[in-house]
Structure 1
């Protein structure tokens, strides 16, 4: 089993570093539109990294499975990654994959909702004695 709490912490560290780079290193070399993409990517990275931290705890407590974490992490990489790439010079059409990342993030949150609504008690307690 992956350590989703550790992965979430790495995502948050990356978000801080990329946020600082965007605030202090990009302003003079990219357009306002590109800077806005960078800020959007960083905001979503932060929010979903914090969410992934919570999901990691829920996995350890046996209230959900790794599926939620995988969906969120793939969404983070595709959504934020495509916006970062466009800011750094990837062709504008590259933004067409950004919504795919958003769909993965939405699916992750919906998967968490469905899996917890279906759960009567923690996964570890649902096995017959």
Structure 2
């Protein structure tokens, strides 16, 4: 489990760096300031949660606990950051991603759930 968590954290972190560079250099002239800011928020959250996964991969918790936290964070990043990427890039790609309006808050709830579950499991392990 730890290998999967660490590898996912590394991949998400690497992708966040690439997308952050894309946003800072290539998209600056193509996106409105609000869309560019949203794109930056998506890369920031992706990187924060990539680091979260790297931490999770080394924290001493049972694999069953890690598995649930990992799922919440992974799918939270996919839904939250992924939907923002599609919402901001949709006009450039010629697609209308308006149907994704509900995916971003769902992703946020999954991310919050991952943090809360980590807190519960760590507090339980300290008791």
Q: SS at 1:6's partner residue? A: helix
- Compute the displacement of 1:62 (Å): 3.3
Aligned residues: 119
Structure having the higher Rg:
1
- Compute the displacement of 1:120 (Å): 4.7
Q: What residue number does 1:109 align with?
A: 115
TM-align CA RMSD: 1.7
- Compute the displacement of 1:100 (Å): 0.5
Q: 1-side partners of 2:20 and 2:99: how far apart?
A: 24
Q: Higher helix proportion, which one?
A: 2
TM-score, structure 1 as length reference: 0.84
Q: What residue number does 2:93 align with?
A: none
What whole-Å deviation, never above 9, does each CA across 1:9-63 have from its counterpart, x for those lacking one? 11100000000000111111111111111001011011111111101112xx335
Q: Which runs of 4+ in 1 moved over 4 A?
A: none
- Compute the displacement of 1:102 (Å): 0.5
